[in-house]
Amino acid sequence: MIVILKKGATESQIQAVKDLARDLGLHTENLSQGEDRIVLGIVGNTLSINENTFRTIEVVENVMRVMTPYKLASREMKKENSVVKVDGVKFGTENIVLIAGPCSVESKEQIIESAHAIKESGAQVLRGSIFKPRTSPYEFQGMGLEGLRLLDAAREQTGLPIETEVMDPRQVSQVEESVDMLRVGARNMQNYDLLRQVGKSEKPVILKRGLCATVKEFLLAAEYIMQEGNQNVILCERGIRTFSTDTRFTLDLNVVPLLKGLTHLPIIVDPSHGTGIRELITPMSRAAVACGADGLLIEVHPNPKAAKSDAQQQLTYDHFRQLVVDVEPIAGALGRSLGAKRQTHKSRQKH
Ligand code: PEP
Ligand code: MN
């Protein structure tokens, strides 16, 4: 339910509405608190509650039901785009955020060198998985918490915010102090205990679309996180399973403009996992930006062929640098910027 309060509502009047919601077993989120309008989102089991219950409070101007199954994530609930802040980096503005780094953290040299290289090319967030959801139990499972210290060292040296995947609710408390963002991978999009746990965290969450998830399931997964209190969710399209086996997955760019209409949350695209083929990553990055993505997530490795995971799709430093050069004009044509300012050759030599 959306509750719109009259202009000039005082703190105690706002509190009275929240208290009523709480007494009814519902949860309130401040959706917007401008000079003109204060809008509260009231969620929970609202089906049996009559809107007039809220209308009896003097300060309430209007009450509207949100008809979509997802509430907090829905555009009906919040008209303006949400901006998710990670240190100084903002997702959901005219700047298209570049997240880059290796699939897996493998060694100190690998992650630190990668961090410098991607920063030079304009990346704003360093990615690196320490817990790996591998199809086979015999494949590299990630460095675990030892890798977290290496990510931390890379942030220390470059100042880049860091993100990593959590696969299990217990991993959230192990990593959340050290990272700037949490990532829920495609295979865990419907791991509800994990969603609830990251929902309790203060750290922004990248939520990747499940391999076979519909848009409704995707947004309801975001809703699990948001209804626990964490509104800082970034959706990530990373390809879905289709009949086509020519690419690793089918990057479903349809959902970018579709989601823009359905939700206020930022949407980023991962063409690395979405294609699984190195040569397709730049063209599909351009396409993702053209259809409105708020960010790109790209896997970059010092020596892709020797990577312990996803060797087919990781880019060299030079390839990534060229990708940024090639995608930038598409962002520019839409009045947007891509990544941070690229460093000059001179400043690069300092390392
Ligand atoms: C990843 O980003 O490292 C990853 C495993 O991707 P996904 O969950 O989309 O497969
Ligand atoms: Mn990967």
DSSP code per residue over 285-328: HHHHHHTT-SEEEEEB-SSGGG-SS-TTTPBPHHHHHHHHHHHH
Separation CA 289–CA 264 (nearest Å): 17
The CA distances from residue 290 to 82, 98, 147, 254, 323, in Å, are 20, 15, 35, 12, 14
208 lines ligand 1 (CB under 6 A): yes
Same domain, 44 and 180: no
Q: Confidence band (pLDDT; 50, 70, 90) for 142?
A: very high
Same domain, 26 and 103: no
The per-residue pLDDT for 37 is 79
Residue bearing the bigger pLDDT, 69 or 34: 69
Count helices and strands in the chain by DSSP H and E runs: 12, 15
Q: Is residue 77 in some structural domain?
A: no
Same domain, 127 and 7: no
Same domain, 47 and 156: no
Calculate what percentage of the chain has a pLDDT beyond 90: 90
The per-residue pLDDT for 33 is 72
The per-residue pLDDT for 349 is 54
185 lines ligand 1 (CB under 6 A): yes
Q: What range does the domain containing 41 cover? A: 2-64
Q: 194 alpha carbon to ligand 2 midpoint, in Å?
A: 20
- For 17-41, the pLDDT digits (tens) are 999 999 999 999 887 777 677 899 9
Q: What value does the mean pLDDT take over residues 104-120?
A: 98
Same domain, 13 and 128: no
Separation CA 86–CA 202 (nearest Å): 11
- For 180-234, the pLDDT digits (tens) are 999 999 999 999 999 999 999 999 999 999 999 999 999 999 999 999 999 999 9
pLDDT reading at 350 higher than 70 = no
Separation CA 321–CA 28 (nearest Å): 45
Q: Confidence band (pLDDT; 50, 70, 90) for 348?
A: low
The per-residue pLDDT for 14 is 92
Model confidence, pTM: 0.94
pLDDT reading at 257 higher than 60 = yes
Q: Is residue 74 in some structural domain?
A: no
**Ligand of minimum distance to the alpha carbon of 313:** 2
Same domain, 166 and 57: no
Same domain, 172 and 51: no
Q: Is residue 75 in some structural domain?
A: no
Same domain, 180 and 245: yes
Residue nearest to atom 4 of ligand 1 (CA): 185
265 lines ligand 1 (CB under 6 A): no
Q: Which residues of 223-245 are buried (b: 16+ CB within 10 A; e: fewer)?
A: bbbbbbebbbbbbbbbbbeeeee
Which of 99, 104, 129 most suits a substitution to test ligand 1, by most atoms within 8 Å of the C-beta? 129
- Determine the atom of ligand 1 nearest the C-alpha atom of 129: 3
238 lines ligand 1 (CB under 6 A): yes
Residue nearest to atom 5 of ligand 1 (CA): 185
Q: Is residue 222 in some structural domain?
A: yes
Q: What value does the mean pLDDT take over residues 75-79?
A: 93
Q: 40 alpha carbon to ligand 2 midpoint, in Å?
A: 39
The per-residue pLDDT for 324 is 98
209 lines ligand 1 (CB under 6 A): no
Retrieve residue 340's tokens: 């941070």
Q: What value does the mean pLDDT take over residues 339-351?
A: 69
286 lines ligand 1 (CB under 6 A): no
Same domain, 244 and 168: yes
Q: 309 alpha carbon to ligand 2 midpoint, in Å?
A: 6
Q: Confidence band (pLDDT; 50, 70, 90) for 8?
A: confident
CA end-to-end span of the chain: 54
CATH of the domain at 110: 3.20.20.70
pLDDT reading at 147 higher than 80 = yes
pLDDT reading at 345 higher than 70 = no
Which of 238, 268, 300 most suits a substitution to test ligand 1, by most atoms within 8 Å of the C-beta? 238
Separation CA 152–CA 126 (nearest Å): 10
What is the dihedral sign for C-alpha 95, 262, 180, 290? negative
Q: Is residue 72 in some structural domain?
A: no
Same domain, 253 and 299: yes
CA 152 to chain centre: 20
Q: Confidence band (pLDDT; 50, 70, 90) for 63?
A: very high
Mean per-residue pLDDT of the chain: 95
Greatest alpha-carbon span in the chain: 67
- Determine the atom of ligand 1 nearest the C-alpha atom of 132: 5
Note whether 3 and 42 are within 8 A (CB). yes
Q: Is residue 70 in some structural domain?
A: no
DSSP code per residue over 209-221: PPTT--HHHHHHH
CATH of the domain at 42: 3.30.70.1140
